[in-house]
Amino acid sequence: MPEYIRHDEGTFASLTKQQKEAVGLLSIGTFLEYFDLMLYVHMAVLLNELFFPKTNDINTASFLSAAAFCSAYVLRPFGALIFGWLGDNIGRKTTVIITTFLMSISCMVVANLPTYDQIGIKAIIIVTICRMIQGISSMGERVGAGIYISEMTKPPIQYAAVTMIGFLSALGGTFALLIASLVTSYGFNWRLAFWIGASVAIIGFFARTALRETPEFADAKYYLKNVYSSIPHKDILSTNLLIQTKIKKSTIIANFFSACGGSISLYFSYIYCANILKYSLHYNSSQVIHHNFIVSMIGLACYFIQVYLSYIIYPLKILKVKLIIFSILVFTFPYLLNHITSSTPLFFVQLISLVFSPSQTPAMPIFFKHFPIFKRFTYVSMTYAISHTCMYLITSFGMAYFIRYFGHYGLLFIMIPLIIGYSFSLNHFEKLEKEAGNYPN
């Protein structure tokens, strides 16, 4: 067994009842919220035809898909400011409850929204606003749940528990694909899927009211309250290290690059490849959704393996292996996509992108702990939000531009800088961990 597990108290057996309840409630809530968020993404091939003007042109369709997809992410930095402030000043619990409530409301609106043929441009505006609200609320969700669990547990179970949050978010996306597949395959009303989404979000909202504040944050707030009430000169707080700890710019930049890969992988696997299925292989909406569901199921199984591996192998080492594999295989993507005659090679390209793309999983707790507690939620969520917003915009619209002029080799204009930035990120956090004495031999 690895050295860092042998000398640590963080094991499955050491979890208290409160910690187990927190992991359970947050995992279920994350599943429900990402089910709602990803439901529109996976049904985009159908819903874009309902809420946007109809088109048979692949370039126009790609632009509409990109617009619908990005609308959920362009305001994420704004959401990071709001929920970052709430998380660092009011508490982690309040933040994750609010995000769940916002998700349920937006899902209800989409479930009852008239189509473009019925109300014209109003449909575009309303569905875009709903996607923006979902994007803003999801900002506080993944980061909030990850920080909450990180502050409630110790390594190595900490790594597995936070990775489980990511697994449940992926499971929510897979379940959204299942519902989308059933709705489109059996001719059910598409609104039924969003009513299910709204219902599960409401369940998650009430379930999370049972959460307690994280001990690390609560203890820090209690300490400051006692300090503030016991000192005669309040300006002494300006020198308190708990509040005034500086964050290195290099750490912020490294966290930014560590979060870029997931957004690129998601768009490429489920939106870009879906357009290839639809316009090059002539799949209908139902077939595209079913194909993506199979990809998602296998990707989910691989994600669960990461949960287990993060418990027995130091997470930064896992990420280094993933980066090496991805860096080699990504150069085969253009060739495979240029010679597509069936869905099989596309299936493997999607799977490679989902499983091996550079991401923060399963090392999120390692990245989190290098930010001070009263700035952690704000800085982590802000870098996470900005990275996702930038990458979704660059990938969604930039990829269409590069592909137009360079064919599928245009993918490398995005993938190569991603690999370089991610390599810097891993090296930076590896250095910090070694300086702190946390990096195992």
Q: What is the CATH number of the domain that holds 347?
A: 1.20.1250.20
What is the number of structural domains in the chain?
1
Range of weakest confidence among 72-86, 113-127, 206-220 = 206-220
Label residue 241 by pLDDT band (50, 70, 90).
very low
- Of 28, 120, 124, 22, nearest in space to 67 by CA: 124
Quote the tokens at residue 176: 């959204």
How far apart are alpha carbons 409 and 401 in whole angstroms?
12
Range of weakest confidence among 243-247, 332-336, 361-365, 376-380 = 243-247
Q: Is residue 301 part of a domain?
A: yes
Domain holding 366, by residue range, is 15-219+242-435
- Of 243, 258, 353, nearest in space to 298 by CA: 353
Label residue 390 by pLDDT band (50, 70, 90).
confident
**170-183 residue pLDDT tens:** 888 888 888 877 87
pLDDT for residue 9? 46
Q: Is residue 229 part of a domain?
A: no
Label residue 314 by pLDDT band (50, 70, 90).
very high
How far apart are alpha carbons 135 and 2 in whole angstroms?
39
**Angle (deg, nearest 10), helices 58-70 and 121-152:** 50
How much is the average pLDDT of 251-259?
A: 94
Q: Is residue 8 part of a domain?
A: no
How far apart are alpha carbons 429 and 435 in whole angstroms?
10
Q: Is residue 234 part of a domain?
A: no
Q: Is residue 224 part of a domain?
A: no
pLDDT above 70: percentage of residues in the chain: 82
**52-87 residue pLDDT tens:** 776 655 556 556 656 666 666 677 777 778 887 887
286 close to 184: Cβ distance less than 8 angstroms: yes
Q: Is residue 5 part of a domain?
A: no
- Of 113, 181, 145, nearest in space to 32 by CA: 145
Beta bridge pairs of residue 156: 10
Phi, psi of 10 (to 5 degrees): -80, 85
SS3 of 10, please?
strand
**315-359 residue pLDDT tens:** 999 999 999 999 999 999 999 998 888 899 999 999 999 999 999
Hunting for tokens 């690390």 — which residue is that? Answer: 216
Hunting for tokens 């964050």 — which residue is that? Answer: 247
Q: Any idea what DSSP says for residue 190?
A: T
For 261-301, give the DSSP string: HHHHHHHIIIIIHHHHHHHTS---HHHHHHHHHHHHHHHHH
For 369-380, give the DSSP string: TTS-HHHHHHHH
Q: Is residue 4 part of a domain?
A: no
330 close to 415: Cβ distance less than 8 angstroms: yes
Q: Is residue 333 part of a domain?
A: yes
Read off the amino acid at residue 177.
L
